[in-house]
Amino acid sequence: MRIVGGGFAGVVTALTLLDRVDCRVTVYEREAAAHTTLCGEGLSADTLRAFRAFDSTPYIAETFEQASWFFPGDVEFRIHQRGHTMAREAWIPAMAAEVARRGGVYRTGVKVSAEQVREMAREADVVVGADGPGSATRKVVGGNHETMLGIQYRVAREGRVPERLEFYTDKTYSPEYAWVFPRGGMMNVGLLASGDGRDWERLDRFMKDKDVTGKVLKREAYPIGFFGTKLQEGNVVLVGDAAGLTNPITKGGMSAVVYAADILARCLRDGRVEDYAARVAAHPISHPSFAPALAAIRRWTNDDFAGLLRYAPPVVDVVPGQSTERRHALRLAASLLRHPTEARDILHVAKAMGVARAYSW
């Protein structure tokens, strides 16, 4: 196996294959050392448990019992699900070292071109493109994906520190959402950018409004790949942001990497590498509700959200294993009756948020 890209997707896929398939793995990373790209670093305990090929617990920076998603109209969806923030700057290099310890090869300083991917595909059983949103491997696979810029400050932990991971859907700051994720001695505070040149200004305003007062230690931006249209051409397959597999609603990408790596390992064990793209398409990480839900989330204004959530209680508890829609059936019905033209989209958003809760972080 050749894996192009030694970031999160590259090392998770390498370890999953080394763990589950009898194979030799070489990872090619263009930078001089294994490193992390920009990330909010939020991950559910369920995803961490699903990634069995490596003991990631030493790299947990902080653990939370809940996450809160705030919407206009002062409605909080409180998600009762354990999650973490991860110290990726240590975790990814540790996984790269583990690839080598288990007999794989992790080569640094090798920038692979599309032409080299074609050569590799002739020589190796499988080539995995894990080379991120600007993937060279995608040029061989074909298709495309959408990208959106995420911007983030790393902030010293001072003043107000949230007890939960906080997400804010509020068009004042972002066309999608902004976040405050505490992680050990600091906090990741960011937003999904509109790209109009005023996103940093909006992030400053977000920090002020949400009473995040710590000193800014770092300021970074990086694209996120989602809605990938093609994941495979013969024995060349894509994972992670190269595949555009990041969840379109939450823009959480690590969970999709864990599930896609698992699917790839199963395909290889079954001798059915050709089934990879179809099996990913059939998995909840590619749920069909995501596209209409994201379109609605982008279209709805703050007033729309407040109107749609008019009958919701101030805190909606979301409990895994229990249907939130069923528990609030009367309130949901009232909202659907009041907004008949939005009814389909309300249901798409409810479905997509539910699937994203389980499979996107």
Q: Is 244 in the site for ligand FAD (CB under 6 A)?
A: no
Binding residue (CB under 6 A) for ligand FAD from 1, 3, 7, 145: 7
**Nearest residue (CB) to ligand FAD, 152 versus 232:** 152
Residue 108's φ and ψ, nearest 5 degrees, are -105, 165
Torsion angle, alpha carbons of 220, 221, 222, 226, to 10: 130
**Nearest residue (CB) to ligand FAD, 153 versus 309:** 153
Q: CA 267 → CA 67, 149, 237, 277, 280, distances in Å?
A: 34, 32, 12, 10, 11
Q: Rounded distance, CA 60 to CA 18, Å? A: 23
Q: Rounded distance, CA 81 to CA 181, Å? A: 15
For residue 302, how far is the Cα from the chain centroid? 24
Binding residue (CB under 6 A) for ligand FAD from 1, 2, 3, 4: 4
Q: Is 132 in the site for ligand FAD (CB under 6 A)?
A: yes
Q: Is 26 in the site for ligand FAD (CB under 6 A)?
A: no
Binders of ligand FAD among 198-217, rule CB under 6 A? none
Binding residue (CB under 6 A) for ligand FAD from 136, 260, 268, 353: 136
Q: Is 190 in the site for ligand FAD (CB under 6 A)?
A: yes
For residue 30, how far is the Cα from the chain centroid? 22
Nearest distance in Å: CB 198, ligand FAD: 17
Q: Rounded distance, CA 177 to CA 203, Å? A: 11
| Beta strands at 178-183 and 186-192: parallel, antiparallel or unpaired | antiparallel
Nearest distance in Å: CB 270, ligand FAD: 24
- Give the list of residues 6+ apart from residue 240 with CB closer than 8 angstroms, or none: 5, 7, 8, 9, 10, 13, 130, 132, 225, 246, 253, 256, 257, 260
Assign residue 240 a region (left: φ > 0; alpha: ψ between -120 and 50; beta: otherwise).
left
Kindly determine how many residues on this chain lie close enough to bind ligand FAD according to the rule CB under 6 A.
40
**Nearest residue (CB) to ligand FAD, 72 versus 132:** 132
Q: Is 254 in the site for ligand FAD (CB under 6 A)?
A: yes
Q: Is 15 in the site for ligand FAD (CB under 6 A)?
A: no
Binding residue (CB under 6 A) for ligand FAD from 1, 2, 3, 8: 8
Which segment (29-37, 51-59, 278-286, 322-330) binds ligand FAD by CB under 6 A?
29-37
Nearest distance in Å: CB 252, ligand FAD: 4
Q: Is 112 in the site for ligand FAD (CB under 6 A)?
A: yes
Binding residue (CB under 6 A) for ligand FAD from 56, 68, 246, 335: 246
Binders of ligand FAD among 37-76, rule CB under 6 A? 37-43
Nearest distance in Å: CB 174, ligand FAD: 11
Binding site for ligand FAD (CB under 6 A): 4-10, 28-31, 37-43, 111-112, 130-133, 136, 150, 152, 190, 222, 224, 240-242, 246, 251-255, 361
